[in-house]
């Protein structure tokens, strides 16, 4: 069902946790839909210096969350905004079809966190 | 690492004696039961002997037992066949909110054909009541369709009471007995059913063999057309080795039933007590006592079922999250929702079902492995314990708003 | 006494390698392919590997292959599913007079739902012509349903031509390929079919496994409801060992196809020539050359088929009289009648079908045993040679009036 | 399918053949219906002295024909008229259900032969 990479990221998720004084926080999903992904960002000079995630969801949800954090760590915010759910899925050697649309939302959570950061910055 | 199969409600290993018999048959005979020559007659005899066995065990007559390819086919045949045959008498079907998908979606399909459904609610243990059935009956009611032992939570429905009511009212009654046949004493007359579905692979018989009991005299319409097998009620060359296997498997299951029910009850209770006493925010779903001896189903709040399943699988423990054939994969179990379990809690369900070969050591291994898994997943969950003491997200933080 | 199984068109022995694989699987794994844990994933992989094999052999895409429980189920699904899905477009079905009961009775059932049937006649060899199909097409035609290799007489229908026509007209085309898949080269694109049915037990695979090819994009409605197996096209827990067996059996059959076709052709011709040259008043039915390599079907005038079958069985030779699943048991074959065989002659038919394990010695044994049997039964027949030289019964004496 | 008795009578049918100068001949069925049974009688003092049959049909047709000849040989005509198809089937330890109505006609052929004899006698 799941690729080896998915299982690896599920079993050994990278960057799990939260950043207490995060510069940006993004969250997608809600408890009733089955998957919730929350991304915390630490930004320095428009670059993602640190990123952590918390996820409630299936194997795909955990793996995509983990993968997205690994992909974008060190990226500029603009670069990170270009990372799509599709790219995350590909980096994991694909996801089962029924998981593609529902549990592949980690990039959305990332984008929400970046927007949260930008809103806060703009509001400063 | 131990290898623990705790998903016997999804499907069971074939009993070694059954596998042996089937493999012996495969090597020895290859007749078509419809053929008149000796290999054909051996095949026919094999099928009819199995039919007599199954019928005797279920309290039925041999000609009331139809062999099918599995539980889903039996349920489809029963529900569609009984409802459609009475189309002119009425168009109302009574069913429950905790049926297996095979019943649920078949009833929904009949709705599109013009039938109306009453889907009875259940209490928090998943129980339907006979009184509700009584109240739901109208002059148009042509079928009552209630599961016997619920496949996700193990609750046993009051089928006898409903059966008595159905007979009183003269309304045909089908029960999906896929999880009771072979595990509980099942007698079609005691239950008062007119139709009953079961599947061999749920009681250590082979895949590819199911059964449908149709009480003599029940008006019923078939689903498929072809040869004259099974009195034309289920056409197509009979799956002889599978039917042979089903007969033997049921015989073995029934011979051992009391002993194994007692054994599994002890194991299950040890497991349930172990889980509930070591893991906080965990609930046992289904009825606390009116339940299958081999099944326990839990919700582990704040973590999602599949992630528990995969983590246990990493420790070579096979369980299921809800039912194995959940069709709307990402939706929470309709059974748990019907029992009033909140949606987010329903997402966290795990079904542990014991069976042939399981031991106390398996249970203890499970009890040792589960807590750290739940802990690890909860630590990863945005729903569980906000780590930010000065969290400013307010309503947006599910962990802050979630009940602890 | 030799033991000769000459009824491979009814069902075949499971290839020893296939039986071995299935029994190995039975002992090793017991997962449900819908389960996410390791045993479930092994089961899933087993099913999907078989699907890829079968698809590749038939020139299809894996997602165009649906696993079923057998030929009858596939045919029912194909015919009902394709016709009903187009109900709004039209209500006309074209089929032939030489279909298997599964097609025949399914079409008749659809007639009761409001479809109209054109049942194409055949020539004396059992052949339908593409021209007849063309002439039968109306604006209402929603399905063409023509068997590939006829199961009683072995005639191979011009499916390629009909397929080309169907594609030209944009009408979905189903062929019942239960007797060609595994015996003849079959490629869904070369044949131009949109739906195709086949059954493992006809090519030394197990009972309980069938297949339905549904071309991508074909509008089609399912017959049963339940879980999400087979993309919801065929629900119910997959019969994993049988599917595994079907994949392997087809692979073995295809690897060996040319060689075994040549081998069976030689045996069959020896048998046909032997029968025709030693037994008077005997005819070979079906097309003399456009036919299955392994099947020969005869009519032995003045004697009834079952009595030949039983007599041969007494000599441990298994053949069939007409088809194994003749539903209207005492009626003569609709296939032979459609070919213009007189009713009384049709009553005297015997089908000999060769397969795995048959040898020249088997054929010679058959050729030695058959003539005295026919002779004995003819001596007992009131249709054959009136012994009363001064018979006064006139018209009442069938033997006097029968052509000799 | 068939009982051992049926198979015995099918494989070793009693009284097969014809009686050239039969006192009565009875026949049921026709070639298109699948079974034809023809019974020849030799009658002496209202008793069946000899009986033979010819049958075109399935195993059941042959066995019932054979059985009926064995049952009634030596019986008076009145007794023989009381032998029913059902009794023939029972004497064979039963027949498969689908054969009961179609191939179990030997007693009918017998009765036809007796009637044929009686008609001839009456016409004398
Ligand atoms: C041409 C044809 N179609 C369909 C079937 C039905 O297959 P099954 O008996 O596997 O359901 C058969 C075999 O009996 C057949 O010969
Ligand atoms: C209650 C119930 N009914 C029906 C079925 C369907 O059985 P099968 O998968 O054998 O078609 C199952 C098993 O999945 C079940 O649990």
| Residue pLDDT, tens place only, A40-59 | 999 999 999 999 999 999 99
| B388-to-A18, A22, B382 alpha-carbon distances in Å | 8, 10, 11
Residue A123 pLDDT > 90, yes or no?
no
What is the Cα–Cα distance from C7 to C5, expressed in whole angstroms?
6
Residue A102 pLDDT > 80, yes or no?
no
pLDDT, chain C, mean? 94
| D68-to-B238, C139, C367, D89 alpha-carbon distances in Å | 36, 59, 33, 9
Rounded average pLDDT over B346-351: 94
Per DSSP, the three-state class of D24 is strand
Task: Choose between C326 and C278: higher pLDDT.
Answer: C278
What is the Cα–Cα distance from A71 to A52, expressed in whole angstroms?
12
Rounded average pLDDT over A68-74: 97
- Is residue A75 a contact partner of residue A48, using CB atoms and an 8 Å limit? yes
In sequence order, the β-bridge partners of residue B95 are: B119, B145
Task: Quote the distance between the C-alpha of residue B43 and its chain's center.
Answer: 30
Other Cβ atoms within 10 Å of A121 Cβ, number: 13
- pTM, two decimal places: 0.95
- Helix (H) or strand (E) run with residue B196 in it: strand B195-199
What is the Cα–Cα distance from B365 to B357, expressed in whole angstroms?
14
Which of B305, B323, B325 lies closest to A61, judged by CA? Answer: B305
- Specify the DSSP class assigned to residue B333: P
Partner C, chain A 52-91, Cβ-Cβ below 8 Å = 59
What is the Cα–Cα distance from C174 to C220, expressed in whole angstroms?
12
Strands A36-44 and A47-56 come out as antiparallel
Residue C399 pLDDT > 90, yes or no?
no
For chain A, the farthest-separated pair of C-alpha atoms sits apart, in whole angstroms, at 47
Chain A residue at shortest CA distance from B402: A31
Which of A122, A96, A91 lies closest to A107, judged by CA? Answer: A91
In sequence order, the β-bridge partners of residue B318 are: B5
Residue B322 pLDDT > 70, yes or no?
no
- Is residue C10 a contact partner of residue B32, using CB atoms and an 8 Å limit? yes
The residues near C81 (Cβ < 8 Å, ≥ 6 apart) are: C195, C220, C221, C222, C223
Residue B325 annotated to the active site: yes
D95 touches chain C (CB under 8 A): no
Both tokens assigned to B32: 């078509």
Q: Show residues of chain B in contact with C242, CB under 8 Å.
A: 207-208, 239, 242
The reported pLDDT for the residue numbered C330 is 62
What is the Cα–Cα distance from B53 to C47, expressed in whole angstroms?
31
pLDDT tens-place string over residues C259-311: 999 999 999 999 999 999 999 999 999 999 999 999 999 999 999 999 999 99
Residue found by looking up tokens 């199961």 in the block? C151
- Is residue A18 a contact partner of residue A54, using CB atoms and an 8 Å limit? yes
Q: How far apart are the first and last CA of chain B?
A: 34
Strands B92-96 and D24-29 come out as unpaired
A79: burial class by Cβ within 10 Å (0-12, 13-18, 19+)? middle
The reported pLDDT for the residue numbered B330 is 62
Which range is least confidently modeled, B381-385, C130-134, C197-201, D78-82? B381-385
Residue found by looking up tokens 């049937």 in the block? C117
Residue found by looking up tokens 């528990």 in the block? B308
Both tokens assigned to B192: 């008062």
SS (H, E, C) A93-122: CCCCHHHHCCCCCHHHHHHHHHHHHHHHHH
- Is residue B20 a contact partner of residue B368, using CB atoms and an 8 Å limit? no
What is the Cα–Cα distance from B100 to B151, expressed in whole angstroms?
7
Strands C173-176 and C195-199 come out as parallel
Radius of gyration, CA atoms only, chain B: 22
Residue B47 pLDDT > 60, yes or no?
yes
Which of C382, C302, C281, C398 lies closest to D17, judged by CA? Answer: C382
Q: Show residues of chain A in contact with C36, CB under 8 Å.
A: 1, 59
The reported pLDDT for the residue numbered D111 is 97
Domains of chain D: 4-115 (3.90.1010.10)
Q: DSSP for C198-219?
A: EEGGGTT--TT-EEEEE-TT--
Which of D2, D51, D47 lies closest to D25, judged by CA? Answer: D51
Q: How far apart are the first and last CA of chain C?
A: 34
B404: burial class by Cβ within 10 Å (0-12, 13-18, 19+)? exposed
Among residues D25, D70, D102, D118, the one annotated as catalytic is D102
Mutate to test the interface with D, among B31, B32, B36, B45 (most CBs of D within 10 A): B36
pLDDT tens-place string over residues C45-89: 999 999 999 999 999 999 999 999 999 999 999 999 999 999 999
Span from the CA of D105 to the centroid of ligand 1 (angstroms): 33
- Helix (H) or strand (E) run with residue C350 in it: strand C349-353
Partner B, chain A 3-42, Cβ-Cβ below 8 Å = 7, 10-11, 13, 16-18, 20, 25, 27, 30-38
Residue C395 pLDDT > 80, yes or no?
no
List helix spans (H) across C6-100. 16-28, 38-58, 71-85
Of C12, C101, C102, the residue with max ligand 1 atoms within 8 A of its CB, to mutate for a pocket test, comes to C102
The residues near D38 (Cβ < 8 Å, ≥ 6 apart) are: C382, D18, D25, D26, D27, D53, D54, D55, D109
Which of C227, C304, C297, C292 lies closest to C264, judged by CA? Answer: C292
Residue A90 pLDDT > 80, yes or no?
yes
Q: Show residues of chain A in contact with B382, CB under 8 Å.
A: 27, 36-38, 54-56
- Helix (H) or strand (E) run with residue A27 in it: strand A24-29
Per DSSP, the three-state class of C135 is helix
B306 touches chain C (CB under 8 A): yes
pLDDT tens-place string over residues D8-62: 999 999 999 999 999 999 999 877 677 899 999 999 999 999 999 999 999 999 9
Domains of chain B: 4-11+257-403 (3.90.1150.10), 16-255 (3.40.640.10)
B323 confidence band (pLDDT: 50, 70, 90): very low
What is the Cα–Cα distance from C154 to C103, expressed in whole angstroms?
17
| Structure-derived torsion over alpha carbons of residues B139, B140, B143, B147, reported in degrees to the nearest 10 | -80
pLDDT tens-place string over residues B245-276: 999 999 999 999 999 999 999 999 999 999 99
The residues near C318 (Cβ < 8 Å, ≥ 6 apart) are: B31, B35, B37, B38, B39, B40, C4, C5, C6, C7, C312
């Amino acid at each position: 069902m799941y690729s080896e990479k998915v299982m690896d990221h599920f079993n050994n998720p990278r960057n799990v946790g939260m950043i207490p004084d995060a510069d940006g926080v993004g969250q997608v999903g809600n408890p009733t839909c089955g998957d919730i992904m929350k991304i915390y960002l630490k930004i320095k000079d428009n670059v993602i210096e640190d990123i952590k995630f918390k996820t409630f969801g299936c194997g795909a949800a955990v793996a995509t969350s983990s993968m997205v954090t690994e992909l974008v760590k060190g990226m500029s915010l603009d670069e990170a905004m270009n990372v799509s759910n599709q790219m995350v899925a590909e980096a994991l050697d694909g996801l089962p079809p029924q998981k593609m649309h529902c549990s592949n939302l980690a990039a959305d959570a990332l984008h929400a966190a970046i927007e949260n950061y930008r809103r806060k910055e703009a509001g400063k | 690492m131990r290898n623990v199969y705790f998903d016997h409600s999804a499907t069971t290993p074939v009993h070694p004696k059954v596998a042996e018999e089937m493999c012996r048959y495969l090597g020895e005979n290859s007749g078509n039961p419809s053929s008149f020559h000796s290999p054909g007659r051996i095949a026919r005899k094999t099928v009819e002997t199995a039919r007599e066995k199954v019928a005797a065990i279920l309290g039925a007559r041999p000609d009331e037992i139809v062999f099918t390819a599995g539980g889903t086919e039996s349920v489809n045949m029963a529900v569609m066949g009984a409802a459609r045959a009475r189309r002119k008498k009425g168009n109302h079907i009574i069913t429950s909110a905790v049926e297996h998908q095979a019943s649920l979606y078949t009833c929904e399909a009949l709705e599109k054909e013009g039938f109306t459904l009453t889907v009875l609610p259940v209490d928090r243990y998943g129980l339907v009541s006979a009184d509700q059935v009584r109240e739901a009956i109208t002059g148009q009611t042509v079928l009552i369709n209630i599961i016997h032992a619920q496949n996700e939570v193990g609750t046993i429905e009051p089928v006898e009471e409903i059966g008595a009511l159905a007979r009183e009212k003269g309304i045909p009654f089908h029960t999906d007995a896929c999880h009771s046949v072979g595990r509980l004493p099942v007698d079609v007359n005691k239950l008062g059913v007119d139709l009953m579905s079961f599947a061999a692979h749920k009681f250590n018989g082979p895949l590819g063999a199911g059964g449908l009991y149709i009480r003599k005299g029940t008006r019923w319409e078939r689903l498929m057309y072809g040869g004259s097998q099974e009195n034309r009620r289920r056409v197509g060359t009979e799956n002889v080795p599978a039917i042979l296997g089903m007969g033997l498997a049921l015989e073995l299951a029934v011979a051992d039933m009391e002993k194994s029910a007692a054994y599994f009850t002890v194991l299950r209770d040890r497991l349930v007590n172990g889980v509930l006493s070591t893991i906080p925010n965990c609930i046992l779903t289904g009825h606390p006592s009116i339940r299958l001896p081999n099944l326990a189903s839990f919700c582990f709040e704040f973590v999602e079922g599949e992630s528990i399943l995969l983590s246990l699988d990493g420790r070579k423990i096979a369980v299921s999250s809800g039912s194995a054939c959940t069709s709307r994969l990402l939706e929470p179990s309709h059974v748990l929702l019907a029992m009033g379990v909140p949606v987010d809690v329903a997402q966290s369900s795990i079904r542990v079902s014991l069976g042939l070969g399981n031991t106390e050591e398996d249970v203890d291994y499970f009890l040792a492995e589960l807590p750290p898994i739940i802990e690890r997943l909860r630590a990863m969950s945005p729903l569980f314990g906000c780590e930010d003491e000065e969290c400013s997200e307010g309503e947006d933080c599910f962990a802050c708003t979630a009940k602890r």
